[in-house]
Amino acid sequence: MRSMRRDLGVYLLWQLPGWVGLAVVLGWLTAWLGLPWWVAPLGVGLLALKDLALFPAIRQTFGPSRLGERLIGAPGRTVEPLAPTGYVRVKGELWKARPRRAGRAIPDGCDVVVHDAHGLTLIVDEPADR
């Protein structure tokens, strides 16, 4: 819950310049064209409602800490030894990774499976069928 509130706060801060810009433009247009005073607040309110409605869809890709979590269970291959960290290729992308068991190195060119993610670092293990 706390993460969602933080993400929402950051998202709304990113939207704020657009709202202010629209308020200025609509304020200027209402004065210049003689439109009713409520046009500017209504326009900004509608834009804010649209942004709030889109937040759930955008939130899934908003936090970088959740990028690696979508790869859990995915197969990959080491492109350099993981001793203690190195890089693996998972779904065509290079990711920083470390072995699941501390103190255990995984050699270059070894098949791995993503077990977990800590931020942008994947925690990998060799497949069980080896």
SS (HEC) of the chain: CHHHHHHHHHHHHHHHHHHHHHHHHHHHHHHHHCCCCCHHHHHHHHHHHHHHHHHHHHHCCCCHHHCHHHHCCCEEEECCCECCCEEEEECCEEEEEEECCCCCCECCCCEEEEEEEECCEEEEECCCCC
Give the C-alpha separation, 11 to 26, whole Å. Answer: 23
Whether this prediction's pTM lies above 0.85 is answered by: no
Dump pLDDT digits (tens) for 20-64. 999 999 999 999 999 999 999 999 999 999 999 998 888 766 555
Say what the alpha-carbon torsion angle 43, 46, 52, 56 is, to the nearest 10 degrees.
-130
- pLDDT attached to residue 6: 81
- pLDDT attached to residue 69: 67
Q: Are strands 93-99 and 75-78 parallel, antiparallel or unpaired?
A: unpaired
- pLDDT attached to residue 118: 86
Q: Is residue 84 within 8 Å of residue 105, measured between CB atoms?
A: yes
Retrieve residue 101's tokens. 């068991």
Dihedral sign from CA coordinates of 127, 113, 121, 9: negative
What average pLDDT does the structure give for the chain?
87
